[in-house]
Amino acid sequence: MIRILLADDHSIFRAGLKKILADQGDMLIAGEVDHGDRVIPALQREEWNLLVLDVSMPGKGSLEIITHARRVKPELPILLLTMHRDHLMAARFLKAGARGYLTKDCGLDQLLLAIRKVASGRRCIDEELNDLIFDQLDGGDDAPLHTRLSHREFTVLCSIASGLTVTRIADELALSVSAISSYRNRLLAKLGLENNAQLTRYALEHHLVK
């Protein structure tokens, strides 16, 4: 039985998906959370076979959740289920450690296949995004500059653009303030920018943060 933790802030969607999966016989949604800050505590309370994670929830961001989940449950497969058909976003989540990325308008058969594949440790990606995603993962010459950042650099970029202080970022990533400052300086150099305001503008222009 595939025991799923579902993290999504839309109660109607959670209820509908829970009913659909309950009819399958080999999977069930055994836990639900509706806020990003509650995902990691829920992961740590029980054993799960799969985390199904929405990209846009209040609280802790999905990229940060994936990073933290990889630390506390390194073997747990993660499937992103989202409204965002964005290959750059999908590539970044896959680089961070997610095993699957599907949009919520996918067919039922595709969703069930994705759950079974990702729970078994294989990758499953939205068919319309597949080729574009692997172009990004291969680091094509035309890829935006931020796709060449390391996972940690990208996390720091999004945190700065979200208005977090260096001290807060250091605390959330369990790093020193000087380490975060070093990542910030590296970001400025790699992106050809000069200050936090420009980092924030870059992130907004590329839809990396809201």
Q: Does residue 73 sit in the same domain as residue 176?
A: no
Q: Percentage of the chain with pLDDT > 90? A: 59
Tell me the pLDDT tens digit for each residue of 123-152.
998 877 776 666 555 555 566 788 778 778
| Entry pTM | 0.69
Cα dist. 139→174, 193, 207 in Å? 28, 21, 19
Task: Examine the pLDDT at 118 and tell me if it is beyond 90.
Answer: yes
Q: Is 133 inside a domain boundary?
A: yes
Range of the domain at 157: 145-205
Domain end residue (candidates: 116, 137, 158):
137
Q: Does residue 194 sit in the same domain as residue 130?
A: no
Mean pLDDT of the region 76-88? 87
Q: Is 210 inside a domain boundary?
A: no
User: Residue 174 — pLDDT band, cuts 50, 70, 90?
Assistant: confident
Q: Can you give the pLDDT at residue 146?
A: 84
Q: Is 108 inside a domain boundary?
A: yes
Q: Does residue 47 sit in the same domain as residue 123?
A: yes
Q: Is 119 inside a domain boundary?
A: yes
Q: Does residue 118 sit in the same domain as residue 149?
A: no
- Here the CATH number for the domain that contains residue 190 is 1.10.10.10
- Total domains present in the chain: 2
Mean pLDDT of the region 143-162? 84
Q: Specify whether the CB–CB gap between 54 and 7 falls below 8 A.
A: yes
Instruction: Enter the tokens of residue 33.
Output: 């959370």
Q: Does residue 89 sit in the same domain as residue 173?
A: no
The radius of gyration computed from the CA coordinates of the chain, to the nearest angstrom, equals: 17
Q: Does residue 80 sit in the same domain as residue 170?
A: no
Q: Specify whether the CB–CB gap between 170 and 180 falls below 8 A.
A: yes
- Here the CATH number for the domain that contains residue 36 is 3.40.50.2300
Instruction: Enter the tokens of residue 85.
Output: 């058909």
